[in-house]
Amino acid sequence: MSTEAQAKQIMSHLRKGLTITAKEARILFRCDRLAARIQDLRDAGHDIHTAYETGGGKRWGRYSLIKEAKNG
């Protein structure tokens, strides 16, 4: 799957008011580089928040959509 297709799937997920982590992105969209796709969406003008979570000695980001870009 192309990176553009992954970004579209992730954006659709976020538009529903859902959040996403790298683990969830791998399971749902076979996306191994969620941070890169989030950066692509940010570069397109979308305001995406990162909340950091910890557990089991690990730290990861949970992404959520704050505001869509005006061009959608």
Contact in structure between 68 and 42 (CB atoms under 8 Å)? no
Q: What is the CATH number of the domain that holds 47?
A: 1.10.10.10
The answer on pLDDT for 71 being more than 90 is no
Number of domains in the chain: 1
Average pLDDT, rounded, for the chain: 96
Range of 25's domain?
3-67
Residue 46 lies in a domain: yes
Q: Is residue 48 part of a domain?
A: yes
Residue 72 domain-assigned? no
* Whole-number pLDDT of residue 72: 62
| Res. 10: pLDDT tops 90 | yes
> pLDDT tens across 18-44, in order?
999 999 999 999 999 999 999 999 999
Rounded to an integer, the average pLDDT of 2-27 is: 97
Domain membership of residue 55 (yes or no) is yes
Mean pLDDT (whole number) for 54-66: 97
Q: Does 30 map to a domain?
A: yes
